[in-house]
Chains A and B, each alone.
Chain A
Amino acid sequence: MVIIRIKGTVMIETLQKFSPAIVSHKMDLKLEAKTVNAFFGKTQALQNVSLSIEKNHVVAIIGPSGCGKSTFLRCLNRMHEVAGGTMNGTILLDGKDIHENDPVNLRRRVGMVFQKANPFPTMSIFDNVAAGLRLNGMAHNGHIAEIVERSLQQAALWNEVKDSLSKNGMSISGGQQQRLCIARALAVNPEVLLMDEPASALDPIPTAKIEELIYELKKDYTIIIVTHNMQQAARVSDETAFFYLGEIIEFDNTKKIFTAPSIKQTEDYVTGRFG
């Protein structure tokens, strides 16, 4: 693992000397995690995790249960500290350390969709999508209805709910609720979207809808998706990171991870021999 990281750094540095294109390419990094360690009290959940994510790419995070996938995701929008955890290391968003700024601003730029759909229970479908706008004081710009419609369309939910926007957000099906949560996250126009097993509780059809959606969203957002579903990771992502026991074992092009991984553990995992 250490070797990979060093190899990566060395490669980029060597290439930079020869090709200015790489330099500009590096400028397009949306998110960079550098030697991130995360803890819950004394338990260490992440160890020296380093990962670079390019703009408008979809990165899948895979690995067995408890390996730190959610923890990593929650470090990226500083939700880890909300749950009482601590971390060290550096995380850069557009080259700026996320710990130097207000977490509230960070979370407006880095949206999150949770494993279990969690629409606000006392709000209508419309109000759920508008919630972020209202919280962020963007309500007064008068386009709420427009933004709500656009977000619901992006989340491929508009046609199913357009006649019942005033119904409670909990009154729709699980898959629709999850897409509602995606719409809610999109409404505030984030730059990065973190998705923690967004389809794990869903049937194949809504799952397929969410995957199509990710494909669409890639044009405008940088997406990091945690999934237990290998086919899903293979279908939706550009790069895949394999986590094991709190460490990144391998991070590479998705095709490579699933067809010719360089590390035995990765191969065992993606072929279903363990985990």
Chain B
Amino acid sequence: MSAPAAAQIEVAGLVKRFAGVAAVADLEFAVAAGEIFGLVGPDGAGKTTVMRMLAGVMPPESGRIVIDGIDVIADPERAKQHLSYMPQRFGLYEDLTVDENIRFYADLFEIPRRLRDERIGPLLAASNMAPFRRRLAGQLSGGMKQKLGLICALIHTPRILLLDEPTTGVDPVSRRDFWRILYSLRESGVTILISTAYLDEAERCTRLALLHQGRLKYCDTPRRLKQLMPGVLLTIASPDARAVRDTIAGLEGVSGVLLVGDGVRAVVDDEARRLPELRRALASAGVPFGAVARTEPTIEDLFVALLRQDEEAA
């Protein structure tokens, strides 16, 4: 875990308990300026709780949070001038129009009218929201709502952007718009912390932190994380994928057996030894199968394998 030199976000010893149960336990990580740092983990892992504490809207039990050089716990109001937070749940007013929402948030940040209007245009254009300015927020699609949330979050030009599952339930086109905006923000020097349950999105981050049951399990670049993949991922093509799955599921050294489009994927601990065993087992069971190929693991494969490995170790 390399702690970047110029950390924009620094978290250490962060703990939050609800009714005695730890939702976040002893969390430590740092995010450098200009990163798109991904926080990934299953539901209930503690992503939202971390985001809220970083945004200064939920006091932690103990620990340290420094954002842009400001101690968030000691002075959340000053930190809020530099950061922006988009909650997981849509937090804008559904009975106000797109324009009214944007103006309201601009006004709360006391942005002069001229400056505000200068900023709104490009933001609306970049998110393809310009035609919907007069539409009530409640009548927008899920993707448009999130883009509106992002516009409101950007209206005071924050240096740090905290996004809690911004693309969950968002259509692919809006998702692409969304990520295009994130990349251009990054280029202009904004540091982004994004949580996501979509692991294909995780690959787009500069670095990833895997959170599980409130603990940080792994934290590194997607490429280096993939090298942690325990064993080798194989794809077995077959017209009867279910039979393949059922046959190999219990074999020694085989794990993470998963149905995919045209076959089965599985992780084997030792390719040279397990591959012949697999073929033999399938042949003797009379299950038809075609090519068996080594496959580049995705982040999803990786995390499933890592978490399983941890569970087995425990």
Same complex: no
Interface of A with B (CB < 8 Å)? none
Interface of B with A (CB < 8 Å)? none
